[in-house]
Structure 1
């Protein structure tokens, strides 16, 4: 763990091909397994990776485990101020949990569930994902993430699964600040319709202006004379400008689930 900088946050999870990571408390109460697979050796490897670190998890995840894991500090995030468990630190929010983890020291591993993963994803510097090559039945899913923000640094193939290490690209923090602070995080259909209308209306306006000006000058050949040439170049320049506008309005269109964005060539968001 010496290569992990102080304050780093690592998400660690096992994810099925369809994005499922487990079952909710309601389904568990109805008889469904908390984790709908058994992977020989995977839990032992999880123990080896996280030993000596700090585990941050939600209360539902802790309840499925039932006890603090030996050799690691466990911090449970819960909204219930009266909840407690022996050998466990309690925090009312993810931010509070990370502050406590910083005081404890050691690498911080976020171990679930789905809401805690989603809250921690913007803060994470690494992900360690166990990829399960199967579509399983479950109602709790790993959050989507922008594939272009991450680079695969390591992949280990085991019997029945693969474990992949991802590291956030340094420049992604600047792009996240520039795009997500001032633009919609998840634009809906209305935002995309507006962007499309702006694109089409701009194209129509530029085309009308070009042909109208050429008609006023009595030119049937739009390539004749300097002014029409300039207008043609301006209309051509509109296309990349319109594409840039679309990209800025919808910067997270590259979101993808972890299995589909991590292929056997080791590429995460490379095409």
Structure 2
């Protein structure tokens, strides 16, 4: 048995996920959703994503993938690859939280994706891979409207097609 991997990502209408290593939007409802979903679980991210957050996230096992064997940060376990991160979490349910290269590598390994789809296009320089609807089936959708900024958005869960329960 190995880890159950879930990708957690927020994307705009063009699958944008970031610009200049930052989120291009402020969506408090998504940040609260992210915290609810990932609290108490290991989170796996690339070093640039960690740098954009700036600290280990509380109540989560923070695992950072970096090619720099000397990289260290308090409250974080550093590993050289996604495979090493998956091995480190063992049989736990873990969440892949970015960035683009880690998402590209993880999409074949993940069993579920929790995607915040924001119905707006932002100026992004980093994108989430296209979701292959032959490989992924939508299992849940909760649509909302942000009072903070007026964006329509939805929390969408995708399950890998043919995944063994």
- Provide the TM-score with structure 1 as the length reference: 0.56
Q: Secondary structure at the match of 1:137?
A: coil
Aligned-pair CA distance for 1:97: 0.7
Greater C-alpha Rg: 1
TM-fit CA distance, 1:40:
2.8
- Count residues with an aligned counterpart: 158
Taking the TM superposition and a 5 Å limit, the aligned residue runs for 1:39-54 are 39-54=27-42
Bigger relative contact order, structure 1 or 2, given CA contacts below 8 A and separation 6+?
A: 2
Corresponding residue for residue 110 of structure 1: 96
Is residue 121 of structure 1 aligned with residue 113 of structure 2?
no
Q: Distance in 2 between matches of 1:142 and 1:71?
A: 26
Match of 1:76 in 2: 64
Identify the residue that residue 19 of structure 2 maps to in structure 1. Answer: 23
More helix by proportion, 1 or 2? 1
Structure 2: unaligned runs, 5 residues or longer: 146-151
Work out whether 1:89 is the aligned partner of 2:85.
Answer: no
Whether the 8 Å CA contact 1:55–1:74 is kept in 2: the answer is yes
> Does residue 163 in structure 1 map to residue 155 in structure 2?
yes
Distance 1:98 1:122 in 2: 13
The alignment yields a C-alpha RMSD, in angstroms, of 1.7
CA shift digits 1:32-75 (9 cap, x unpaired): xx111111321111100111111000000000101111111010
Task: Give 1 or 2: higher strand fraction.
Answer: 2
Query: What is the match of residue 182 of structure 1?
Result: none
CA shift for structure 1 position 121 = 0.6
* Other-structure match for 1:57: 45
- Normalised by the length of structure 2, the TM-score is 0.90
Query: SS where residue 33 of structure 2 aligns?
Result: helix
CA–CA distance in structure 2, aligned partners of residues 164 and 119 of structure 1: 21
- Partner of 1:98 in structure 2? 86
2:6 maps to which of 7, 10, 13: 10
Q: Distance in 1 between matches of 2:66 and 2:46?
A: 6
Runs of 4+ in 1 over 4 A off after TM superposition: none
Partner of 2:117: 131
Unpaired runs of 5+ residues, structure 1, are: 26-33, 173-271
* Cα separation, 2, equivalents of 1:171 and 1:92: 28
